[in-house]
Homo-oligomer: A and B are copies of this chain.
Amino acid sequence: AMAAPAPTKEAGPSIGWDSHKAVDSVPESLVRGVEGNESMRRRFEKACREAQIAICKAVEDCDGGAKFHSDAWVRADGGGGISMVLKDGKVWEKAGCNLSVVYGSMPQEALQAATERGVDRAKGLKPGERVPFFACGLSSVMHPRNPHCPTMHFNYRYFETEGGAWWFGGGMDITPSYLNTEDMTHFHGTLKRVCDKHDAAYYPKFKKWADEYFLIKHRGETRGLGGIFFDDQNDKSPDQHFAFSEELLQTVTEAYLPIIEKHKDDAYTEEEKKWQQIRRGRYTEFNLVYDRGTVFGLKTGGRIESILMSLPETARWEYDHRPVEGSPEAEIMEAFKSPREWV
């Protein structure tokens, strides 16, 4: 059922706007049958799918109201995806967790948008020649209702190009509307513990990378209070990189859900809700203007509803809004303007 022509360097855009076909039952694998069960493609897909099921289950239990709705689709040229989306929950306004498997070819510029060292990835290709690639990843954004509950995002992905280049990338970050130091110590501390098990250099490096990556440049402020971000990881064995990604996928709920359990019943005012909406406007600005995954998805003809699942249900823009000096809103703005160490 997944048979499709292999993408070639000569092909035009291999992914069109209407190339996503909904399927009624979730396929066991979206990776092409020919890859073999031991391939990193299959192994990474399996780790993502298992994490998707476990995370969505834990989030449903925490929400106690809405359930995730699942959409599966295949693409005309191979690959496909499974979107899991929860709406109108008791705790979450909107939460999504998407698995995607892409066989495609992309313009070299899109490759640059997809990686930090894009130019190296296109080595050996003539200018204008398209780059055939495989990508598999799990992406998630969860926007809670209560302004004292932070928004969370993670994405872990594995890439291969036809030329045999491969790399791992990903990260997880948190976006509160109000500052709670204890929560940030828990979140960053959990990520640091996993990083340290794999490489003592990881946390400081990837924490800084997140602070730089999640910057809304035109405002000189970060989207949230960071986490970790990494790309182009291929300096160890594939097994070592895989083990790190797999453990990070398994740590998502531990890093995030205790913060939600703690604050999901916090009282809040209309003004606090409005501030959360303004911060969601900033979230939207970051995602549409700078986010590499979003830009990559829009440029390569990804499934729009899955890509833009990351946008909040509602957002707000007030002209020249400035928090009152000394207020909790001004307090967290300071942390957005100058990233801090939390652990």
Q: Are A71 and B304 in contact (CB under 8 A)?
A: no
Chain A, interface size: which category? Answer: 20 to 34
> Shortest CB–CB separation between residue A275 and chain B, in angstroms?
14
> Shortest CB–CB separation between residue A135 and chain B, in angstroms?
18
Query: Which chain B residues lie closer than 8 Å to A76 at the CB level?
Result: none
Contacting residue for A285 out of B17, B277, B288, CB 8 A: B288
A residues 1-53 near B (Cβ < 8 Å) are: 17
> Shortest CB–CB separation between residue A301 and chain B, in angstroms?
8
A226 to B218, CA, bound (A): 29
**A235 interfacial contact with B, CB 8 Å:** no
A308 to B85, CA, bound (A): 30
> Shortest CB–CB separation between residue A167 and chain B, in angstroms?
26
Q: Are A320 and B305 in contact (CB under 8 A)?
A: yes
A281 to B316, CA, bound (A): 10
How many chain copies?
A: 2
Residue of B nearest to A143 (CB): B317
Q: Are B220 and A17 in contact (CB under 8 A)?
A: yes
Contacting residue for A219 out of B71, B96, B304, B314, CB 8 A: B304
**A232 interfacial contact with B, CB 8 Å:** no
Q: Are B319 and A316 in contact (CB under 8 A)?
A: no
A87 to B317, CA, bound (A): 11
A284 to B315, CA, bound (A): 10
| Most chain B CB inside 10 Å of its own CB: which residue of A218, A285, A298, A305 | A218
Q: Are B317 and A316 in contact (CB under 8 A)?
A: no
**A309 interfacial contact with B, CB 8 Å:** yes
> Shortest CB–CB separation between residue A224 and chain B, in angstroms?
18
**A94 interfacial contact with B, CB 8 Å:** yes
Q: Are B316 and A314 in contact (CB under 8 A)?
A: yes
Query: Which chain B residues lie closer than 8 Å to A307 at the CB level?
Result: 218
> Shortest CB–CB separation between residue A107 and chain B, in angstroms?
14
Contacting residue for A304 out of B218, B311, B314, CB 8 A: B218
> Shortest CB–CB separation between residue A236 and chain B, in angstroms?
36
Q: Are B298 and A289 in contact (CB under 8 A)?
A: yes
Query: Which chain B residues lie closer than 8 Å to A325 at the CB level?
Result: none
Query: Which chain B residues lie closer than 8 Å to A305 at the CB level?
Result: 319-320
**A318 interfacial contact with B, CB 8 Å:** yes
**A109 interfacial contact with B, CB 8 Å:** no
**A171 interfacial contact with B, CB 8 Å:** no
**A87-B318, A315-B315 are known contacts; what are 10 more A-B pairs with Cβ within 8 Å?**
A17-B220, A87-B319, A218-B304, A219-B304, A285-B308, A289-B289, A289-B298, A308-B317, A311-B317, A313-B318
